[in-house]
Structure 1
Amino acid sequence: MRLSVRLAVLFSLFGLAIAAGFLIYYVGSLRREAYSLALQKSELTATAVRIIVEEEFRSARRPSSRLGRSLEEIVRSSEIATVVVKDRRGKRLIGRSDSARWLSRQARPGIPIESVRDGIYDVERPVDLGLLGEGSLIIGFHLGALQGRLAQLASEAVQGGVMALLAITLAAWLMGTWFGSRIERLVPRLEGLPRDPEGFKPLRVEGSDEVSRLVAAFNSLGGSLKEETLRRRDLESEKRELAAMLVHDLKTPLTVIQSGVTLLKEQLLEFSGAPAAVGGRSGSGQRGNAHRRTFELLEMSSQRLHRMVEDVLQLSRLEEMPGLRESVPIDLIELAKGCARDFALIAADREQKISLALPKKGEIKVLGEAALLRRVLDNFVHNAVEHTPSEGTITIAISVRNGNARVGVSDSGPGVPEEAKAHIFQKFFQEDLKRHVGNVGLGLALCEKVIRRHGGLIGVEDAKPRGACFYFLLPLAQPDLALDIPPATEAS
């Protein structure tokens, strides 16, 4: 439920409660006023009747006929139901009523007027009966007119109260809606601010209440965040441009160095091989071996530096592109076979073996950019070659499960420490220099970005019996037609 609706309901209920309380108080006040007037009238009437009775009994021991006529006249012309005069022993001396049945009823003086149930309110007052001493005067008043008046007042109050309730409820609803809508305006802007701080536009400030102060604070926060985001974006842009310029400038001398090292190595091999063929001195052969080892180290270092430069360039391109340049079907089996062929000579030179664990039949296709996925697989295999000892095995395995293709590269090296697995795909992360020789932490970060750009998952786990297994999962091009396919080992 929207905030404006909740506030409107809350305000309406609050207004309804206030209006209902006011209505109850108003009706109660009218009832109390009516009862008070009735009590005053009854007191005045009782006083007047007592004066008449005392005047008649001042010189007589019995009530006269004149007193009877006077009391009958009073009963006919007023709201009095009964008038009874009793002596001090409780004997009725005279009684008059507008109906004979009222004289036979049991009077109940002392009951509050609000508690009367039979419609007659009784008042008892002492009266001086002259020679008979002190007696009592009991007067019963009809409450029919009063109760009718009270019912009329209640009806009028309810009618007016209902209109007031509706008006107050409507006003409270409108107030709650207006107040809630002012706050609701902030919600989508607050939610969208972290996503697009550069597109922030300040809200209009109305008034000086707490909501207006909140809007002003939000405008200040959004403006500061926008300025900071623009500043950071400019800095990131300058940093990327600088990195791209440096890497681009490094590529040319690196290519020259790598070509020169390769040429010198070939010349060294020719030079060191010629004396050995004609029985040259052993000292010259030893120097040739030392030079050859030096050139191999130079060549290895230049190749690693070249890969680092390529990783930086590729990572920069990925960060600048919102998506893939193309999305075409790619056969992962052919991709794995091509990678194994390209690394076969390098692995053989290190006395290592590359094996393939691929499904025996069919194709396993995913959608994506072939060059990027091949780069991920090359990085995995290159790292495995770097970290696998002589006579070790590197395995490329592909399987299908739950509509996803899984590509894993396992080695028999030292493995990845458990505490490093959660951070190994972050840029510039190096848990163990021996484990990541020549790597500044960009290759695996590039792999992670590529796989996520393809909508997949990437991870690392322990290989059996030892080593590490880097893998990624990608959705199949046609997952509805795919069955679970386990890998089948094929050595190469």
Structure 2
Amino acid sequence: MTALTWVLLAFAVIGLLFGLWQWTARRRTVQRLDNMLEQSISSGFTEEHFDETELSALETKFARFLRGSAHTQKTMKTEQEAVKTLISDISHQTRTPIANLLVYASLLTESDLSPRQREQVQALLTQGEKLSFLIQTLVKASRLETGIVVPTPTLGPVAPLLEATVEQERPAAEKKKITLQNLPFVGDASFDPRWTSEALGNVVNNAVKYTPAGGRVTVSAQMLETFCRVDVTDTGPGIPEEEQGGIFNRFYRGTLTHSAEGLGLGLYLAREILSLQGGYIKVSSKPGNGSTFSLYLPRALNRI
């Protein structure tokens, strides 16, 4: 063998050894990172190496991050417990006073009152009912947010949900001479009947509330590839584009709806309920052309 051949062979051996060393080092690093992640998942991660290497510095940062995450998780749990206690206290402490307020206001309406007094008592009764509804809605929203109550979706027909909601809102629609229509539909979706009825009821109630007398509200549904979409279409004043991003927030009231009674919680609650079931809600609207609120219900049970 010539000298050149020996040189080339030596370089090949050195390259092979260097590659093997790099592969071993990478594997050792990956194994160490994998162990760190496994320990973090089981909440048992502790620093084991204290040197000047980059991996040791990474381990230090990782440990600091996990300690911070653990502290954050503990703080969130404490705050959730505090919220649960607050919700329970509000619900318990206000139930009796509000009930008494409504009873005595109702009794006053049966008394011999002047027109002015009767008007004042009716205002008292209306505000008492509004306060009761507000507290009930806040309690529902807070229980959903903190996980005290979790919707349990099941596969079932959508038609009964639509029919029951429409019948529930029909008296309010008839009072305003609004045509409330439910289009026939056949199909199944994944949803919690009780909570989804609450979400859809809030949307239909809003449509009736904000649609002028003599208008129309239509409830319909159609099957998409992965969702069943329930549409609530009205002939109300519509929603300006710049306001559509905020209407699902707590207590939001649009500029075109301030004159109507409302708390600004119905759409927020509907969004929370649908989100917890793997669905969502969106709106399509233009001022003067009414609105369509679309509730998306998964067609299959969420296995996540």
- Aligned partner of 1:399 in structure 2 is 221
Q: Which runs of 5+ in 1 are unaligned?
A: 1-150, 273-286, 479-492
Equivalents in 2 of 1:215, 1:255: separation in Å? 59
- 2:180 pairs with 355, 358, 366, which one? 355
CA contact (8 A) 2:215 2:235 kept: yes
Identity of aligned residues (%): 21
SS of 1:306's partner is helix
Paired residues for 1:150-189 under 5 Å = 152-157=2-7, 162-179=12-29, 181-182=31-32
Equivalents in 2 of 1:477, 1:162: separation in Å? 58
CA contact (8 A) 2:250 2:268 kept: yes
Distance change >3 Å, CA 475–CA 162, structure 1 → 2? closer
- 2:280 pairs with 457, 460, 472, which one? 457
Question: TM-score scaled to structure 1, two decimals?
Answer: 0.52
Distance change >3 Å, CA 372–CA 176, structure 1 → 2? closer
For 2:128, the aligned partner's letter is S
The Cα offsets for residues 153-210 of structure 1, whole Å up to 9 and x where unpaired, read as: 4455555555444434433432343345545666x57xx98xx8x9473342253322
Aligned length: 298
- Aligned partner of 2:291 in structure 1 is 468
- 2:94 pairs with 250, 259, 263, which one? 250
Equivalents in 2 of 1:405, 1:296: separation in Å? 43
The Cα offsets for residues 7-47 of structure 1, whole Å up to 9 and x where unpaired, read as: xxxxxxxxxxxxxxxxxxxxxxxxxxxxxxxxxxxxxxxxx
Equivalents in 1 of 2:158, 2:287: separation in Å? 27
The Cα offsets for residues 436-479 of structure 1, whole Å up to 9 and x where unpaired, read as: 7441x43222111111233322122227953333331224479x
- The alpha-carbon deviation at position 213 of structure 1 amounts to 1.6
Equivalents in 1 of 2:268, 2:290: separation in Å? 20
CA contact (8 A) 2:215 2:236 kept: no
Question: Are 1:422 and 2:272 an aligned pair?
Answer: no
Equivalents in 2 of 1:301, 1:477: separation in Å? 42
SS of 2:295's partner is strand
Equivalents in 1 of 2:44, 2:11: separation in Å? 49
- The alpha-carbon deviation at position 358 of structure 1 amounts to 0.7
Equivalents in 1 of 2:164, 2:28: separation in Å? 67
- 1:308 pairs with 111, 115, 134, which one? 134
CA contact (8 A) 2:151 2:273 kept: no
- Aligned partner of 2:151 in structure 1 is 324
SS of 2:258's partner is coil
SS of 2:220's partner is strand
For 2:156, the aligned partner's letter is P
Q: What root-mean-square deviation, in Å, do the aligned CA atoms of Structure 1 and Structure 2 show?
A: 3.5
The Cα offsets for residues 362-405 of structure 1, whole Å up to 9 and x where unpaired, read as: 6444332222122112212332343334x242413213142543
CA contact (8 A) 1:354 1:394 kept: yes
Q: Which runs of 5+ in 2 are unaligned?
A: none
Equivalents in 1 of 2:19, 2:165: separation in Å? 76
Q: Which runs of 4+ in 1 moved over 6 A?
A: none
- Aligned partner of 2:72 in structure 1 is 228
